[in-house]
Amino acid sequence: MSSHLFIGLMSGTSLDGVDGVLSRIDEQGQMQVLAHGFTPFEASFREALMVLNQSGPDELHRSALAGNTISRLYALVVKDLLAQAQYTASDIAAVGAHGQTVRHRPLEFDGTSQQAAVGYTIQLINPALLAELTGIDVVADFRSRDLAAGGQGAPLVPAFHAGVFGRPGQCVASMNIGGISNISVLNANGTVQGWDCGPGNALMDFWCQLHTGQAFDRDGAWASTGTIHTDLLHSLLSEDFLSRTPPKSTGRDLFNPAWLEQHLSTFSKLPAVDVQATLTEFTALACAMDVSLHATEARTLIVCGGGALNGHLMRRLSAHLPDVDVVNSEQRGLPPLQVEAAAFAWLAFKALRRETASLQSVTGARGARVLGALYPR
Ligand SMILES: Nc1ncnc2c1ncn2[C@@H]1O[C@H](COP(=O)(O)OP(=O)(O)OP(=O)(O)O)[C@@H](O)[C@H]1O
Ligand SMILES: CC(=O)N[C@H]1[C@@H]2OC[C@@H](O2)[C@@H](O)[C@@H]1O[C@H](C)C(=O)O
């Protein structure tokens, strides 16, 4: 490989925009981030993506166009990263581009025979267009091979978390709180577990946008002025997904406005601010329960993703984990908004080397697989 420079691009289930990093990765897979960029989605595009999370008229056409738009936004982030770090396209070995998840249905039975049941996951992107626009090799479609091998196709970051946050001889847990939250348990003996915990910012963002017009509750300031409603909290916590045994993964397919409305139907008189306080508490508890029940050895929880910037959420998470040191990933060398994009740079590095990147212990697949498809420059 002529270059050790990789770009990772991630637009996740928060639907806030595209994070990108340009990084140097050495032969051992150790990474140094050289630049970080972010391009927000315009409100109209965000809405179009939100609508594409459910079926609707002419959705194939709208999905294809959204894939083109997202690829153009990804290309803008690449341009910005190259300018920041003063490199040109020919210096970069590859771009790892996640795309925009609009469906995640692992292991869904098709009603005919169990043999045919594989499930699917859809990330909108036009990788050919991204290769054309950037002049860089693009690796995309990271999840489908794991699904084909019987896995969940998510989460994929635990192997990366292990390399960046793992401490030999210690059990450490790391948690990404994006639109959906996911945990990696990095055991003292080097084994790794991981799964999706439940909602991250998705429900809080939805409610905040609806009632304040703001895309998210900055620092959890609004939620912190409300009162937690115990009955609503219990209703939210009764969701089956939370008590399911891993491997498990989820998305907006489950934790969406319709799911929330269903739980709110018997609490229609509650002040909006109390609902926000309760949603924040629910999110914190769904995350904390997975640590206290399944990462019993962990004394440190490293939090990344935008949720790490929500001070109120972080305080509630800490309150539910009195024996665990809850820290922001920046304290471990990688700022919260860079972690997922960095993971996709690393996944591209693994793909070019034809090395496996999925973990059977996380996704439940028949084995580890080489992930991603290459679109040459
Ligand atoms: N200062 C802040 N205070 C509160 N919340 C914040 C702040 N900054 C970001 N966030 C939250 O983080 C979200 C973005 O997080 P992130 O970029 O990790 O999401 P994502 O890429 O969609 O993640 P995933 O793929 O894991 O779903 C925003 O939508 C918002 O809810
Ligand atoms: C299908 C999909 O896009 N899943 C995302 C989502 O966002 C958080 C959580 O759900 C996680 O499972 C995953 O993202 C990260 C990058 C992962 O695969 O590890």
Q: What is the pLDDT of residue 88?
A: 98
Mean pLDDT of the region 33-41? 98
Query: Residue 141: phi, psi to the nearest 5?
Result: 60, 60
- Chain center to CA of 12: 5
Looking at the fold, whether 206 and 301 belong to one and the same domain comes out as yes
Helix (H) or strand (E) holding 343: helix 339-352
Q: Ligand 1, atom 5: nearest CA belongs to which residue?
A: 310
**DSSP three-state, residue 323:** coil
User: Are the CB atoms for 18 and 81 separated by under 8 Å?
Assistant: no
**pLDDT given at position 117:** 66
**Average pLDDT, rounded, for the chain:** 96
**Domain shared by 276 and 200, yes or no:** yes
| 223 lies in the same domain as 79 | no
Q: Looking at residue 288, which CATH number applies to its domain?
A: 3.30.420.40
Q: Is the CB of 17 under 6 A from ligand 1?
A: no
Instruction: Tell me whether residue 16 is annotated as binding.
Output: yes
CA distances (Å), 368 to each of 109, 146, 279, 355, in order?
A: 23, 8, 36, 9
Decide whether any atom of ligand 2 lies within 6 Å of the 12 Cβ. yes
Residue 183 and residue 206 share a domain: yes
Q: How large is the average pLDDT for residues 291-306?
A: 97
**Ligand 1 atom closest to 14 (CA):** 22
pLDDT at 152 over 70: yes
Whether residues 96 and 245 share a domain: the answer is no
Separation of alpha carbons 143 and 145, rounded Å:
6
- Overall number of domains in the chain: 2
**Which phi-psi region, left, alpha or beta, contains residue 279 (left: φ > 0; alpha: ψ -120 to 50)?**
alpha
Nearest-atom number in ligand 2 for the CA of 200 is 8
Is 13 a known ligand-binding residue?
yes
- Please check whether residue 94 is in contact with residue 351, taking contact to mean a CB–CB distance below 8 angstroms: yes
- From the CA of 247, the nearest ligand is 2
| Residue 225 in this model has a pLDDT that exceeds 80 | yes
Rounded mean pLDDT of 182-197?
98
Contact 188, 169 (CB under 8 A): yes
Q: Is 15 annotated as a binding residue?
A: yes
Same domain, 165 and 308: yes
24 band by pLDDT with thresholds 50, 70 and 90: very high
pLDDT score at 215: 96
Alpha-carbon distance values, 206 to 171, 199, 261 (Å): 34, 12, 11
Q: What percent of the chain has pLDDT over 90?
A: 95
pTM of the model: 0.97
Mean pLDDT value across residues 247-258: 96
Which two structure tokens, joined as six digits, stand for 341?
Answer: 């994009």
Pocket lining: 101 vs ligand 2, CB cutoff 6 Å: yes
Distance CA 311, CA 314 (A): 5
> What is the pLDDT at residue 107?
76
Mean pLDDT computed over 106-121: 67
- Phi and psi at 96, nearest 5°, equal -100, 115
Supply the ipTM of this predicted assembly.
0.98
pLDDT of residue 92: 98
pLDDT, greater one: 118 or 220: 220
Residue numbers of the domain that contains 325: 158-336
Q: How confident is the model at residue 243 (pLDDT cuts 50, 70, 90)?
A: very high
Report residue 111's pLDDT band, with 50, 70 and 90 as the boundaries.
Answer: low
- Counting from 1 in the atom list of ligand 1, the atom nearest the Cα of 218 is 3
